Amino acid sequence: MPMPHRHLVERELTEEGPRRGADARDRRRSVTINLAESPLGWLHARGHLTDRQLDAGERLRADYERAQLAPSVTMRWDPVRVDGGARDHGLTSTERQIAAKNRFDGAMAEVGPGLSDILWRVACAGEAIPAAEKALEWPVRSGKLVLRLALDRVATFYRIR
């Protein structure tokens, strides 16, 4: 796996977690955070995800990006191709986008409605587990287990061994 890009910043910590304001002077302690690291990469680096689960999550995220499902501006600033649209694996760019959307939809259907919420939030939207748990109104520390189950199903869908 290639080395991910590093964007390191210092953050001050309090009992509640990272704080950026000047009112955090009571308990001063700082840590270095890599903002370029994905939540899945962070979990994998600390032994919370297997290689298979990481690969499944990255594959799902790649299909999400290829399908261009993320919110975007209304105007597209991509360069216009003059060569008539070069083909890759016999597919045009639109066909590749549709194929990625079909794979993404299939993987999410395989995961199911109870597990897909946290999977999308962490793998595709890049939310940290605590933020996803809070948004879903789940108990603290429940998200990691549910995410692992979801990633196992995605790995099965993509036939990752």
Same domain, 29 and 53: no
* Tens-place pLDDT, residues 36-70: 678 999 899 889 999 999 999 999 999 999 998 98
Same domain, 67 and 95: yes
Residue 72, pLDDT > 90, answer no
Same domain, 152 and 102: yes
Average pLDDT, the chain: 83
Give the domain extent around 20: 1-37
Neighbouring C-beta atoms of residue 12, cutoff 10 Å: 16
CA dist 64 and 97 (Å) reads 9
Taking each helix axis as running N to C, give the angle between helix 93-111 and helix 143-157, from 0 to 180 degrees, rounded to the nearest 10. Answer: 130
More confident of the two residues 28 and 144: 144
Q: Indicate the pLDDT class of residue 35, thresholds 50, 70 and 90.
A: low
Amino acid code (one letter) for 14 = T
CA dist 70 and 119 (Å) reads 15
Same domain, 104 and 151: yes
Q: Indicate the pLDDT class of residue 155, thresholds 50, 70 and 90.
A: very high
DSSP states along 1-55? -PPPP--EEEEEEETTEEE-STT--SS-EEEEEETTS-HHHHHHHTTSS-HHHHH
Domain count, the chain: 2
In a domain, 21, yes or no: yes
| pTM to 2 decimal places | 0.72
Amino acid code (one letter) for 62 = A
* Tens-place pLDDT, residues 95-132: 999 999 999 999 999 999 989 999 999 999 999 999 99
Q: Do 57 and 37 contact (CB within 8 A), yes or no?
A: no
